[in-house]
Structure 1
Amino acid sequence: MARIRSVKPETWVSETLAEVSIPAMVTFLGMTNHADDHGRHRDQAAIIYGLIWPLRDEISRADVEDHLRQLAAVGAICRYTGCDGRKYFHYPTWHNHQKIDKPSLSRLPACPHCEPERCGVCKGPCIQRAALVDASGTADEQAPSARGEFAEASANAPAGLDQLPELSSVLPARLASGDGADATVHSAAAPTQRKIAGQAIFAEDSPKARRVLPEPSAPGSRILDPGSSFPTGRQAPDADTVSANQLIGEYVAACSQRPPGSVLGHLGKVVKTLLDEGIAAEHVRSGLRRFAEIQGHPSRLPSLVNDAMNAQGTGLVRPGIRPNVPAHQAWTNPVDAVAAYAEEL
């Protein structure tokens, strides 16, 4: 897959590229888009021709092969045979000119001559490179050794350590005999006694007494409050207490469609205010029934509750010392006004 690569301004004044032809220089720059994140690619003129020169009839596969020879001669590329037997090439100065953000692991073999990087076939240091180094005899000391093995023993190792018997053969016998007071290992070759870490038994008990719980643990969650003997100042509401939510719920049930939330919120505040004033829930319920019939703004509810509280007849009653006076009637212009309105006159 082609990738975006950078071309530095120094490319156009490079003495190395100035020694090759212009088509070879174009092949050099074009293949940077097709090389992987480690600057490696297949060394096949036919493949490179199809990637760089698909629309140019004046360039042939033989010309591309000549470009690769020119570039390898001046050191612009390095051609090699991978550990899988195929031919590849890479850019020796790739990491000096290309800055790859989060490079992916290469799937191609590494160059056995000049690349110490991960080999895509060997999944690590290339075996072919190690074989070449061993055959040359110039870097035997740099050859990677097996994991966990050292060429020489540590200078800090205690004397007689190699004469200790294997723990796997000593521990079962010591544990089976029951002698655990002093778990020591004796060796005929090593007269000194060596204690096995973690196997000795303490000679005396711990000075701290073991904690004993006064009562067994009860099943269930420990965060549940079983109750308190201290009063908190709050009492449970009476069973017959009607809340504002209950009254609003009855009002909503009486409506054919659920009122908007803003109306219910305003109405709930009004109902709560009325209940906090000590008005009986039945009077508020009566006002809500009347409000459900006529609707309107929730601020009308207090007047409807007042009507339910203070309605005592069809007309106004004269207060004061004459409670038996009939309700006021409009002037009807009777024939005998004195007889008709004697009480009021």
Structure 2
Amino acid sequence: MARIRSVKPETWVSETLSEVSIPAMVTFLGMTNHADDHGRHRDVAAIVYGLVWPMREEITRADVEDHLQQLAAAGAICRYTGCDGRRYFHYPTWRNHQKIDKPSLSRLPACPHCEPDRCGVCKGPCIQRSALAAAAGSHSEDSASAPGVFAETSANAPVAVDQQPEPSAPAAKAGIGIASPQAGPGHVPSPAGKKAAGQAAFTEDSPKARRHLPEPSAPGSRILDPGSSFPTGRQAPDADTVSANQLIGEYVTACAERPPGSVIGHLGKVTKALLAEGIAPEHVRAGLRRFAEIQGHPSRLPSLVNDAMNAGSARLAQPGFRPTVPAHQAWTNPVDAVAAYAEEL
């Protein structure tokens, strides 16, 4: 991750950087933004090229490798091989020019030549470096003993077969010997004159049985287990399901020019609401087709869909159209008022 680094005024009058070319100096300054808080980075020309020169076609990876060689020859960087076998470089004067508040721990190996700091791979003092130092110290000192022979016997040396303790005299008289792990069923006695070393199979089984998986792990997504009866992930939509995006896409394709984005977005919201009400996609498609012909505000789409749904079926109540609806008759004065209002008079 790139970081903000400072460039001191002494950089422009540095005798070390004056020995390299100007592109190599740019590589030097550019990699300070990508080195970690300890001034370390991968020593791969392709990576450095992609970080510093991504917008320059006149600089190639071979040029970047030449920049690194110039900087290493001038002493501006130190190239080394870490304990993990990969190549790295670091800035020897990093702490003199970069003041970092609360630096993070490095994840890269330390330089075995000039950095005694924490190794990011070994999580502490470098194990390989310690082993090399110990090997160098052992070769530098003259050993009094012959090669391959230790001067002193280790206190934890294994006891030989002939060094096993003998039973005491009272125990021997009583016929009690030293307990041997071989004394059990299936024990084959040792030949005469030889003592058993005590290597024998265990007569009892281990109390912890070896665990076996009931079934192999099934490949696939961990979010939705193919073998679970209660799926927790998102299910794929049915093949015959028509979405609002599909209907809007058909509408945009039918237009001679692409409509503005606000119109498409408004139509998408209205279309999604109509499908959520349970209206058939064919009716919504017919309304969009009619909308493409007459255009207008997207809020007209529900009325056009209604026309497609109920065209020719909705009529006003007319005499004789429905048996349950009485025919309308105009008010007229009765001919015989006495007979018409006999109950009210």
Shorter-chain TM range is 0.3 to 0.5
Q: When the two structures are superposed, what TM-score results if normalisation uses the length of structure 2?
A: 0.40
Q: When the two structures are superposed, what TM-score results if normalisation uses the length of structure 1?
A: 0.40
Larger Rg: 1 or 2?
Answer: 1
